[in-house]
Structure 1
Amino acid sequence: MDDDDVIAVLGLALVLQNRKRKRDRTESSKRWLLKRKQFSHVNLINELRFSPTDYENYLRMDEKLYLKLLSLITPLIQRQDTVMRKAISAHERLAVTLRFLATGRTYECLKYSAIISPQALGRIIPETCDAIYEVLKEDYLQVSKQLKPNSNHYTSLIGRLRCQRVLKRPCSSVASLLLTGGGSVHTIYISSLQPY
């Protein structure tokens, strides 16, 4: 081999060495999250329809009320499917929100029964709660028309709430725990007092 061939081979080796390797694509979702239709709690809810007591225990409302609420909020929370993935249905969104409100579980814990990522749950649950508030506020949050402007006398309202935070030792069986920034575990008790 002459000098020109050696230089050409070394140059080719340098080019190949410096060429960026193609990175393997990482999955944007975990495999089991992509099987939402198969593993989701929506299948359980469909089975629970045949046992009204269990249905009410799971969602904290009967099927008739659930379907009425679903029909009211569907226009506000329904999303369109995209080329990349199917949208999370309004039924799944409402069901996981009601489970969150009923159990107080974390998003990380709910992801296993709902087969929805915690990041998506962090968007879905507040959106659904806002939608529930919007459709029910006229019927259920009627404020007294007799309130005087600039008055501190709010009679005939919902009543007074008393909140108390109690320091507790961590226990795996307690569902609604609040982890503070300092790492302590608290439970928040809310009690309703009589109106003034």
Structure 2
Amino acid sequence: MSSDEDEVVLFYNYIRRRRRRTRKQFWIYPYIETNVNRRLFIAAQELSEDEAKFQTFYRMRKQTLQELVEIVSPLIQRQNTDMRESVSAEERIMITLR
């Protein structure tokens, strides 16, 4: 084999390997899937135990937040699917406030 043929064979093998290599795409990252209950709102759960800390963090009382959730949740609530769990209306509001 000549050097030109060697280069062609090497190039062909490179292309075949590159095509075989597929990138994995995740609907949910494995870290999040294994830690479904450990969302961003662990801080909110901990803050809800102490009224003063909650009010400092979100700049409103828990009662006011609950009233806001009752008013706005029918407009922003999403439906859970088989593929993933939706973000609750309360979590959406807390993200917006922070």
Q: TM-score range by the shorter chain?
A: 0.5 to 0.7
Structure 1 letter corresponding to 2:76: I
RMSD, aligned CA: 2.3
Displacement of 1:78 in angstroms is: 0.4
2:67 corresponding residue in structure 1: 68
CA distance in 2, matches of 1:85, 1:79: 11
Name the structure with the higher strand share. 1
Residue 52 of structure 2 corresponds to residue 53 of structure 1: yes
CA distance in 1, matches of 2:31, 2:44: 19
1:88 corresponding residue in structure 2: 87
CA distance in 2, matches of 1:90, 1:57: 21
For residues 109-142 of structure 1, give each alpha carbon's deviation from its aligned partner in whole angstroms, at most 9, with x where no partner exists.
xxxxxxxxxxxxxxxxxxxxxxxxxxxxxxxxxx
CA distance in 2, matches of 1:77, 1:36: 24
Displacement of 1:82 in angstroms is: 1.0
Structure 1 letter corresponding to 2:96: T
Name the structure with the higher helix share. 2
Structure 1: gaps of 5 or more residues: 1-16, 100-196
Q: How does 1:114-129 map to 2 (within 5 A)?
A: none
Displacement of 1:35 in angstroms is: 5.0
> CA, structure 1 residues 37+27, in 2 after alignment: closer, same or farther (shift >3 Å)?
closer
1:25 corresponding residue in structure 2: 24
CA distance in 1, matches of 2:45, 2:68: 17
Larger radius of gyration: 1
For residues 42-80 of structure 1, give each alpha carbon's deviation from its aligned partner in whole angstroms, at most 9, with x where no partner exists.
232222222111000111100000000011000001000
TM-score (norm 1): 0.36
CA distance in 2, matches of 1:92, 1:34: 18
CA distance in 1, matches of 2:34, 2:56: 26
CA distance in 2, matches of 1:25, 1:40: 23
CA distance in 1, matches of 2:34, 2:97: 22
Q: How does 1:44-193 map to 2 (within 5 A)?
A: 44-99=43-98
CA distance in 1, matches of 2:93, 2:31: 21
Structure 2: gaps of 5 or more residues: 1-15
> CA, structure 1 residues 24+36, in 2 after alignment: closer, same or farther (shift >3 Å)?
same
Equivalent residue of 2:92, what SS? helix
TM-score (norm 2): 0.67
What percentage of residue pairs aligned between the two structures are identical?
27
